Amino acid sequence: MTITLKDGSKMQLEGAVSAFEAAKQISEGLARAAVVCRIDGELAAMNTIIDKDCSFEVFTFDSEEGRKVYRHTCSHILAQAVMNIYPTVQLAIGPAVDNGFYYDFDFKTPITQADFDKIEAEMKNIIKANLPIERIVMSRKDAEAQIAKMKQIYKVELLADIPEGEEISFYKQGDFIDLCAGPHLTSTGKVKAFKLTSLTGAYWRGNEKNKMLTRIYGTAFDKKQDLEDYLAKLEEAKLRDHNVVGRNLGLFMTDENIGQGLPLMMPKGAKILQIMQRFVEDEEERRGYLLTKTPIMTKNNLFITSGHWDHYKDKMFYIGEEDVDDEILALRPMTCPLQFTIYKNGLKSYRDLPVRYNETAIEFRKEASGEMHGLTRIRQFTLADGHIVCTPDQLEKEFAGAVDLIVFLMKVFGLENDVTYRFSRWDPKNPDKYVGTAEEWDKVEGAMRKILDDLGIVYSEEWGEAAFYGPKLDIQGKNVHGKEDTLFTVQIDFSLATRFDMIYIDENGEKARPYIIHRSSIGCYERTLAMLIEKYNGAFPMWLAPEQARVLSLTDRTAENAKAVVAELKAAGLRAEADIRSEKLGKKIREAQLDKVPYVLVIGDKEAEQGIVSVRHRSEGDIGTMTVKDFIAKALLEVATKEIK
């Protein structure tokens, strides 16, 4: 029989062979490193028998496909180890994720991270036993009987989710069996290096109305050194986590009496957000945006019209109950329908378009407890929101302009090399999540693809990530732990203009529907601040630093001189504080460094007498003495150019 390899070449095989033997005929080294293969487009284990002509591709751990299969097998080893130690545990799900794997468990008695040692020891026993991993296909009736025998309540739900007619498979290793689509490694002994990394709570199916389960995270590599390198980076990442750095620097805090996902911005953090907001709003104004200010709460009628009530209600906070109250008030999750209402105030001509609205908007979304973290996912946030209403002919130019604004802001903040671009499309298999017909979606997605290609944007595609009213360009960033979030977005909306009866008079004097572009120029301010904290490890560029200079008195004799210099710096528009405590200079300097203050100015008797200051930069160290006037000129230039050192 003939198998066709990835490069199009053909290879002849004599009789039925395993995928491993086929890989061996390509290369002994490839076969040894093989994790999984693809046969006629379907991923399969390396012990799968090939008995007919097919296409054939082999993946090692260095590929995304290989890593996922390798780590998914680790999640099964974890589940088996946990069951061996805690026989009454209920198993939920255990997928591979970007940097490793996890499994969700329902324990009768809670465990802690202190239990990891014995779980890891049992995992090592399972790996050492080199248990063969067997795929078993069952009928639905047999699968139901198997799960009943296992007494696993969550697997009952998972089995019910498998559509009729779809193959049902289990994977068995030793006396452990789990419902799973696979594929997996051929044996547990193939795992070379792993580590359990953290423990957290997670609602079953991500729904806070369901039971809170225990999620155990881990990671795995095919080389011990790679694991050690990763764990070292993980420790470094923990030190840069904005949730740690931001709190240590006094940028923000939380309080259980206020609530989860509701951070308190302290003076330093609030100052950074104010600087960001003023800069962004000024830039938007320069680009022709019109500032709006709309209510944070509105009657739900507006969201019924927009479709958010049908498609987004579970993510909204609202007061009142349907069929009970005459009026239900909702906290806005976005400003779209409010700004559309402003657009409708007065008839528009094609000569009036495009209209660009922007707003620094406080918005609310009902995030699940298990999903919230620091400033990246919160329940009340501040969005650099905006909407462009334009004619079809203006769509591409306006979309490009929205992208250009985002790219400009990313460069200024130093984030342009830390993002990827994603074309988020609808899911035709689940049309109830969206408004519009398949034809409308095909048309607008085709238009958006052309725009992205014309702009030369390199992007991935993700099905099912579109807004319910249109496709999106999502600009994605990762935190220090590798978790990806959407930072900024530009969306094409082909539906809401009709729902809100938005019109303009075209060149022929006829009524026409505009296109709408939804965009967030700097995204959610709090989430972007979190990215900046982690990127700079709290040492913000001069123009963003909440405290730009700290003036230290060397002795009590120069305390008044220090206060006078601070007054001069503040008068010039710089943010400065004085440290005139009777402490040793070394201690004062160390504290300023811990606070990540860009410049420290020291005044002793000599400096006071000569009218100069001794200047230290947080990364460059001592840069000499200069007059206060010269320092101000230097500092203001750094602020004006928004230099990133």
For the residues of 429-447, what is the DSSP string, one character each?
A: T-GGGSSS-HHHHHHHHHH
Predicted pLDDT of residue 59: 96
Q: Are 426 and 444 in contact (CB under 8 A)?
A: no
In percent, how much of the chain has pLDDT > 90?
84
Q: Are 381 and 362 in contact (CB under 8 A)?
A: yes
> Who contacts 179 (Cβ-Cβ below 8 Å, separation ≥6)?
143, 147, 155, 158, 159, 168, 169, 170
User: What would the pLDDT profile of 393-404 be if each residue is shown by its tens digit?
Assistant: 999 999 999 999
User: What would the pLDDT profile of 418-463 be if each residue is shown by its tens digit?
Assistant: 999 999 999 988 888 888 889 989 989 999 999 999 999 999 999 9
Predicted pLDDT of residue 431: 87
In the numeric block, the tokens 């284990």 are attached to 45
The confidence band for 416, taking pLDDT boundaries of 50, 70 and 90, is very high
| Residue spans of beta strands (DSSP E) within 365-456 | 380-390, 419-425
User: What would the pLDDT profile of 274-306 be if each residue is shown by its tens digit?
Assistant: 999 999 999 999 999 999 999 999 999 999 998
Distance CA(217)–CA(71), nearest Å, equals: 11
> Biggest alpha carbon distance in the chain?
95
User: What would the pLDDT profile of 29-74 be if each residue is shown by its tens digit?
Assistant: 999 999 999 999 999 999 999 999 999 999 999 999 999 999 999 9
For residues 305-333, give the mean pLDDT: 84
Predicted pLDDT of residue 323: 63
Packing angle of the helix pair 628-641, 559-571 (nearest 10 deg): 40
User: What would the pLDDT profile of 137-183 be if each residue is shown by its tens digit?
Assistant: 999 999 999 999 999 999 999 999 999 989 999 999 999 999 999 99
In percent, how much of the chain has pLDDT > 70?
99
User: What would the pLDDT profile of 602-620 be if each residue is shown by its tens digit?
Assistant: 999 999 999 999 999 999 9
554 torsion bin: left (phi>0), alpha (psi -120 to 50), beta (else): alpha
Predicted pLDDT of residue 87: 95
User: What would the pLDDT profile of 542-561 be if each residue is shown by its tens digit?
Assistant: 999 999 999 999 999 999 99
Task: Name the DSSP class of 593.
Answer: H
Distance CA(120)–CA(93), nearest Å, equals: 19
In the numeric block, the tokens 């972007």 are attached to 528
Number of helices (H), then strands (E), belonging to the chain: the values are: 20, 35
In angstroms, the Cα distances linking 337 to 309, 478, 497, 574 are 12, 30, 10, 40
3-12, 78-87, 292-301, 504-513: the lowest-pLDDT one: 3-12
Distance, C-alpha 420 to centroid of its chain: 11
The confidence band for 325, taking pLDDT boundaries of 50, 70 and 90, is low
Predicted pLDDT of residue 221: 97
For residues 86-100, give the mean pLDDT: 94
For the chain, the average pLDDT equals: 94
Distance, C-alpha 26 to centroid of its chain: 40
